[in-house]
Amino acid sequence: MIVYQGPNEDTHKLIQFFRRAAPDFKILRRLIVSQDKTVVLDVNRDTIEFPGLTFDSPGLARLLDDLGVVYSRESLHAATSTPGVVKEFGLGAVWTWGHDSV
Amino acid sequence: MELTERTLDQIKDDIRLNVVDFEDFNSRVVGAYNDGSAEKGLPADDQVARSIIPGGTGALRDFSYIAPDIPAFITENCVGCMECVTQCPDTAILGKVVEPSVLEQNLSQIGDTIERESMGAQWATTTKYFNVLEKKGVGGGKFGIFIDPSKCKGCAECVDACGDHDALKMVRKDDENLDWYKRAWNHYKTVPETPGKFINEKALADMMLAQRALLYVGGAGSCMGCGEATALRMMLAATGFVYGADNIGMVAATGCNTVYTSTYPYNPYIIPWTNSLFENAPADAMGVRARWDQLGWKNKRLWIVGGDGAMLDIGFQSLSRMFASGMDIKVLVLDTQVYSNTGGQTSTGSFKGQDAKMSAHGKVIDGKKENRKEIANIALMHKDVYVAQTTCAHMNHFYKAVMEANEFPGPAIINVFTTCQPEHGVADNMAEHQAKLAADSRSFPVFIYDPRKGKKMKERLSLAGNPNMKEDWYVNPKTGEAVDFVSFARTEGRFSKHFDKDGNPSKTLLSAKQDRLENWNLLQELAGLK
């Protein structure tokens, strides 16, 4: 497990940390957001943890975008006001073969 | 003239009596391909001219160089569920149960202490195969999982299938551990086949413990994590387990499945197999069936295999004709919703809005315009045809469908959702997960239609296997959110262009969602649930 210890409000720093850390992991599999943290899991269930990064953090949207997750921003914001809610996003989507050749 | 006729007779005799010299083929031909000298070193000969490949030559192919990672088995976490063995598309991970005394005897043959302990540590004491049988007083067995490094392509599907059990993880390959994997695989091969007492015939997952169920040896040229190959393995397992390898034949319609299973000289099947054309596999199979019946080979199971392109589009007429014949022929449709082999063109099985060639998402059109054609719905309107729609993620449903199809005294079709990683736009380890999600989201409902079950449609059609069967959508209890076609589409690259920057779906995607709902409602109505 790797834990991010930088400031969540500095989205650039957060993303740079993630991009440096991710290559040491296997195929990324899931991202789980709870009220107090965000955790990225690879296929081995090894984790990159972001304490304090949650639904209303600007860094979360940036991280989801960086991972190519297609999610509804509206439902993400709605989760902020729902106590105890946990959201899970799959990280299995990739570009189709030859997507850039048509 | 007489000489020519005699020569022809001799040639015919030679073909009949010596179809292929498999020892020569395995060493000379496969050997040349394996060492890279085939293109320049192999002469053209009558074996090549006849397009014959002996069974199981895929076993001689070595893929150990293609992937950086390989699964590692964590013995103490294994429960013996066999999910990893079942879901592997390449027969690269197999399980075996052994009597403890037999294992001790086997291990004692290993001279080196560290090596002996290392091999012994691969055998787990599970509740399923050890504790339960010990309590019954029949003696438990040790369960081992072994990885064949020459077949593993590193997709990690097995690790995903293992899930919360955490009994597998991907590790980096290096010279040292690769050598260990080879030795461990050789150790696996020296242990006797799983005794029958450990194979619970009611636990369908156990079938792949039996050698007679392993009729696909791997070494095929399919992509990493290919959903089709898993479906082929599972169909053969369920058929071979009951009827044996000598009683199965396969007629394959041209498509991805024929390319990766007959890339000369590698053949992963150890059953008779033939490929004619894209469009005529059912007609071809009718000829085979007729001849087999003439010979009194009624018990032999004959399967047609084809993709959605072959069965829904190009060979549809031939398929419908076969259904009408009433002949004892079974069909496995590998439904990837796209022409996978030829580069990803739209088929009639593609979902509305799907981004595929011939209907590429752009400024003028936004993916496929038509709704998806439902081959299973169409099939059940033919008289006396057994129909199932299923996925490999629904293991028991899949196996039950294959076994019932084999028993059915007439035509049967099983339409299987098969993930095509490059064309669906999903990662290599996602085949099972996406298949499950396709069913949960009503994108690809599972069902079984058995004409023997009653006079009314609702008696013959069962939607068991789908979550929340009576509702429009399944609601995930963890999130409280409906799992619909849009939520399925969010997880696959083939639909990614249908979402704006805020993640809102396009009108076309919402229309596709409505199409999926209407299809589901139709099935509910036919099954008497609405």
Q: What length is written for chain A?
A: 102
Residue B16 lies in a domain: no
If asked whether residues B255 and B385 sit together in one domain, one would say yes
If asked whether residues B453 and B498 sit together in one domain, one would say yes
pLDDT band at B2 (very low <50, low <70, confident <90, very high): low
Question: Of the candidates A26, A88, A94, which has its C-beta nearest B426's C-beta?
Answer: A94
Cα–Cα dist B215/B224, whole Å: 20
Model pLDDT, residue B207: 96
Model pLDDT, residue B18: 74
In one-letter notation, the amino acid at residue B313 is D
Cβ pair B96, B191 in contact under 8 A: yes
Residue B292 has pLDDT above 50, yes or no: yes
Q: Distance from A5 to chain B by nearest Cα, in Å? A: 27
Residue B33 lies in a domain: no
pLDDT by residue (tens digit) across B334-393? 999 999 999 899 999 999 999 998 998 988 999 999 999 999 999 999 999 999 999 999
Q: Distance from A102 to chain B by nearest Cα, in Å? A: 7
Model pLDDT, residue A82: 80
Model pLDDT, residue B4: 61
Query: What domain range is B285 assigned to?
Result: 215-526
- Give the tokens for residue A102: 């048509």
Q: Distance from B187 to chain A by nearest Cα, in Å? A: 26
Q: Under an 8 A CB cutoff, do B433 and A92 touch?
A: yes
Residues of B within an 8 Å Cβ radius of A: 69, 156, 159-160, 166, 169-170, 343-344, 355, 357, 360, 362, 422-430, 433-434, 478-479, 481, 490-494, 496, 499, 502-504
Closest A-chain CA to B169:
A44
Rounded to a whole number of angstroms, the CA Rg of chain A reads: 14
Mean pLDDT over residues B68-94, rounded? 98
Which strands sit side by side in the sheet containing A47-51, from one edge to the other?
Answer: A2-3, A47-51, A37-42, A28-33, A87-90
Cβ pair B391, B436 in contact under 8 A: yes
Q: Which residues of B touch A26 (CB under 8 A)?
A: 69, 156, 170
Q: Which of B209, B243, B271 is the last residue of a domain?
A: B209
- Give the tokens for residue B334: 């590998």
Residue B3 has pLDDT above 80, yes or no: no
Of B40-54, B405-419, B434-448, B475-489, least confident by mean pLDDT is B40-54
If asked whether residues B430 and B511 sit together in one domain, one would say yes
Residue B295 has pLDDT above 80, yes or no: yes
Q: Which residues of A touch B502 (CB under 8 A)?
A: 72-74
Model pLDDT, residue B102: 98
If asked whether residues B421 and B332 sit together in one domain, one would say yes
If asked whether residues B326 and B244 sit together in one domain, one would say yes
Q: Under an 8 A CB cutoff, do A29 and B492 touch?
A: no
Q: Which residues of A touch B160 (CB under 8 A)?
A: 29, 43
Show the 3-state SS of B23-54. HHHHHHHHHHHHHCCHHHHCCCCHHHHCCCCC
Mean pLDDT over residues B442-459, rounded? 98
- Nearest in space to B224 (alpha carbons), one of A25, A43, A18, A88: A43
B422, containing H or E segment:
helix B421-424
- Give the tokens for residue A69: 């997750």
If asked whether residues B244 and B163 sit together in one domain, one would say no
Cα–Cα dist B89/B232, whole Å: 8
Predicted TM-score (pTM) of this structure: 0.95
Query: What mean pLDDT, rounded, does chain B reach?
Result: 95
- Nearest in space to B427 (alpha carbons), one of A97, A41, A27: A27
Model pLDDT, residue B251: 98
Q: Which residues of A touch B503 (CB under 8 A)?
A: 70-75
Residue B24 lies in a domain: no
Model pLDDT, residue B520: 98
Mean pLDDT over residues A62-72, rounded? 93
Residue B30 lies in a domain: no
Burial of B343 (0-12, 13-18, 19+ CB in 10 A): middle
**CATH code at position B459:** 3.40.50.970
Residue B474 lies in a domain: yes
**DSSP secondary structure code for residue B309 in this structure:** I
The number of domains in chain B is 2
Closest A-chain CA to B168:
A44
If asked whether residues B122 and B258 sit together in one domain, one would say no
Residue B103 lies in a domain: yes
Residue A84 has pLDDT above 90, yes or no: no
Q: Distance from A46 to chain B by nearest Cα, in Å? A: 10
